[in-house]
Amino acid sequence: MHTVADPDPAPTGGEDLRDLESLFHAEYARSVRLALLLIGDPRRAEELAQDAFVRIAPKLDAVANPPAYLRTIVVNLCRDHGRRAATERRQPPPRIEVVPEPPLPGDTSTIWQAVQALPAPRREVLVLRYWADLPTAEIARLLQIPHPTVRTRIRRGLASLKEVLSDDA
Amino acid sequence: MTRDDLTSDRLRTALTAVADRHEPDAEAWHHIENQVSGRGPALVAADRHGPAAPRRRHRLLAAAVIAAVAAVATVAVLARGDHDRDTTDVTTTPAVATGWYIPVGLPDGWTVREVTAQRMDERCPCSETTWASPSRDIVLIRSTDPDRAGQDGVTEVPSPSTSTFAVADDVEGTITPAPDAEGGPTGWTAGWVVDGERTSLTAIGIAPSQAAEVARAVFADPTSVPEHVEGVAPVGSWSETSPVNRDADVGIAMASPAGHEVDITLSSSDRWRSKGILVPTDRLAGQQPLALLTLKSYAPTPVGDQPRVRDYIGLWPGATVRVLGGYADGPATDAEIDAVTASLRPATLDEWRAFVAGAENRDRAATSSATLQDLIDGRAAPTASVAARGDLDDLDVTLDATPRMATWEDAGVSLTVRNPTSSAITDPTCALDRAEVALLPADDQTQAAVDAIPAGDPWWQDDGPCDGGTTMAPGASKTIRLPVRAQFHDARYGPLPGGRYGATVRIDGVTGQVTTPVEIGADPACTGDTAGYVGLTEVDARALAEQRGVTEVRTPAAGTESDVVTYRCDRLTLVVDDGRVTFARFY
């Protein structure tokens, strides 16, 4: 948060690619992995993560906490994925090559399948809580839902998983 | 290690393994650079929720008005269902407004995904004043409520675009602009805290460059707004002088045949306080007999890369009803939103309960009160809630509960904890948030009624995750809602018998317990013959039930939600343990 005598919140363009590239090297891997956990599709996760960087580019000068802002964009894009209008792309979509991922060990695979089967609202809060390690207050702010709702969704999500994990154990 | 810890640890490990095995696209930077350097128009920021406004009611209004896409912030993204249920045909109109409204006559393929109910009590005293231009292109809303600083260990994370400014000589404020929305209205929110009271300004159609000037003028003299913002006049005001403004939010998530979500929200009649900024719409004339309003910014044209979401608001008898399209599985279409809105009709309590019973997921609190207003009020007396004070070790503890409640209903128990000492007090294990609460019989008659039912442990506990605990600064306080309902903890045993109880709280690591008297209204219990079931195997019990003409027999597993929402008294719930019936009740 920056302090000015009279604020001028209009974005300044912010297309200094060095800053963006710096952010990319620091945050891209984490962004695409967050997207992957939220939507389960590696190729789409790459697209969304790249889209997030394109979106933050013109705002970078005005953003005080780029990693947090980037995370907000990624989460929002993931919530909307599948419905993006073709008109939003200014160029043909990039050809993204996804490296085949190694198979998961049995226990992990079971848990991951169970997570993917959760309703999106519960999956979101579990990923943000147990992979991104965000406090519930931050999750509530990020998802724009009440704090108690975050806790309820976490509890219900864990309860759903518990059955799978109990059987698995 | 508790079972819950085991679950979360394994979950954490699994998520990390899944994430780490993915190698990011080696060409990602190249793709990003190409797109950014393509010199296309600036993309709309994906922060679609509008200016950072911490309180839910401000987000409802500010986000919705400033950026149409921010309406998603008000949408409850709800559980996915995989089977169809018919909506209920309603042929009656309640003589007294219940506040319940349900879709009637939607085509096949529509389903009810979820019905939720939660209390939205807000701390007050609080107020809201609105000014607007005749066209409603310019709107300014000033609201006040107690500042939350020092509570609960929760700190608000400011939006990345928030900046500070001097409101007055010794008062610092913040300003957050609305995100750029191509073709959309401009706007911002400003706020400041003085003497424990927080003031927020939400502006639409006023340039951000004017924000500081307008904010300073409002700070100096709120009545001077028309002098500083051309063309506006006061259009409404609202205030609540008591410490708590009770409210509740009942959400209905409808899914269209195409899988798109349309959400209906039922809340208190005065929820939409800034009524002056709403405009009538006749879009559904001839289809929806009740008057509909909308926010002027909701024109059905795209905003940047996201479509505007149509919404409707009904200030109807007994409730403020809002219908909003969601974005799950694609944005809801205008036709879908219109269809749901046009179909809404007032419902009796029985019709409401039958509708909720058809939902794939539902909060029982949504059907435990006769009217929406009863749910909001908790059927409490209008005076201050019953409280008991107790000094537990170093903390001051006040327990509040609804004095009188119906069966199944949320008991409205809250624990207010204050640190009266001059030192910080830490709670690393979230003992306060995980306080146990129970409704314990307070007289012999009630005790006997409860003892007749082998329902086990009466203690409830919120066992949600602990985010590293809480630290309470000297003088800080926090209020914790405790989850307990007027039912047996194991819902299979049904509601608690009517009678006098003590809402009782015990906290791990502190001595003593705090209790306050409450009363549960008598339950309209069924008088069906339950003799002879206990001790039978499930198979034999079902056979006996069939002989006796019981229309349905349920044997829910422990810990599952009960389907009981309507008493017909020809259906039987059996509790089966180790293959034998241990309890039976009609519903």
Q: pLDDT: is B135 or B465 the higher one?
A: B135
Task: Tell me which chain B residues have a C-beta less than 8 angstroms from the C-beta of A56.
Answer: 45
- Provide the sign of the torsion angle of the four alpha carbons B88, B89, B92, B93, taken in this order: positive
B161 vs A: CB within 8 A: yes
pLDDT tens column, B5-36? 557 778 888 999 999 888 888 889 988 888 88
Average pLDDT over residues B221-228: 86
pLDDT attached to residue B116:
81
B24 vs A: CB within 8 A: yes
Which chain A residue has the Cα nearest residue B215? A6
CA angle at B117 for the pair B46 and A78, rounded to the nearest 5°: 20
When CB atoms are compared, the residue of B3, B46, B307 closest to A55 is: B46
pLDDT attached to residue B488:
85
Label the pairing between strands B425-427 and B470-472. antiparallel
B279 vs A: CB within 8 A: no
Which chain B residue has the Cα nearest residue A153? B464
DSSP label of B537: B
pLDDT attached to residue A135:
81
Most confident of B57-71, B195-209, B461-475: B195-209
B154 vs A: CB within 8 A: yes
Which chain B residue has the Cα nearest residue A86? B305
Subunit contact B160:A62, Cβ cutoff 8 A:
yes
Task: Tally the C-alpha atoms within 13 A of residue B251's C-alpha that lie toward its C-beta.
Answer: 22
When CB atoms are compared, the residue of B17, B36, B49 closest to A144 is: B49
Q: Is the CB of residue A72 less than 8 Å from the CB of residue B45? A: no
Cα B542 to Cα A149, B574, B575: the distances in Å are: 39, 9, 12
When CB atoms are compared, the residue of B13, B37, B464 closest to A151 is: B464
Average pLDDT over residues B35-58: 37
User: What is the distance between the alpha carbons of residues B478 and B432, in angstroms, rounded to a whole number?
Assistant: 10
Lowest mean pLDDT among A155-159, B71-75, B578-582: B71-75
User: What is the distance between the alpha carbons of residues B73 and B46, in angstroms, rounded to a whole number?
Assistant: 13
Task: Tell me which chain A residues have a C-beta less than 8 angstroms from the C-beta of B327.
Answer: 79-80, 83
DSSP B234-295: EEEEEEE-SSEE--EEEEEEEE-TTS-EEEEEEE-TTSS--GGGEEE--TTTTT--S--EEE
Cα B480 to Cα B118, B402, B417: the distances in Å are: 14, 15, 8
Which of the four pLDDT bands, split at 50, 70 and 90, describes residue A83? very low
Task: Tell me which chain B residues have a C-beta less than 8 angstroms from the C-beta of A77.
Answer: 46
Task: Tell me which chain A residues have a C-beta less than 8 angstroms from the C-beta of B190.
Answer: none
pLDDT attached to residue B442:
93
Task: Tell me which chain A residues have a C-beta less than 8 angstroms from the C-beta of B20.
Answer: 33
Report helix, strand or coil for A62: helix
User: What is the distance between the alpha carbons of residues B481 and B399, in angstroms, rounded to a whole number?
Assistant: 10
Task: Tell me which chain A residues have a C-beta less than 8 angstroms from the C-beta of B45.
Answer: 55-56, 59, 73
pLDDT tens column, A1-30? 322 222 323 333 444 588 899 899 999 999
A79 vs B: CB within 8 A: yes
pLDDT attached to residue B209:
84
Q: pLDDT: is B561 or A83 the higher one?
A: B561
Instruction: Respond yes or no on whether the N-terminal peptide bond of residue B160 is cis (omega within 30° of 0).
Output: no
Q: Is the pLDDT of residue B72 over 80?
A: no
Looking at every residue in chain B, the average pLDDT score rounds to 74
When CB atoms are compared, the residue of A36, A59, A83 closest to B331 is: A83
A158 vs B: CB within 8 A: yes
Lowest mean pLDDT among B213-217, B361-365, B526-530: B361-365
A126 vs B: CB within 8 A: yes
Subunit contact A108:B14, Cβ cutoff 8 A:
yes
Which of B4, B31, B172 has the highest number of chain A CBs within 10 A, making it the mutation to test binding with A? B31
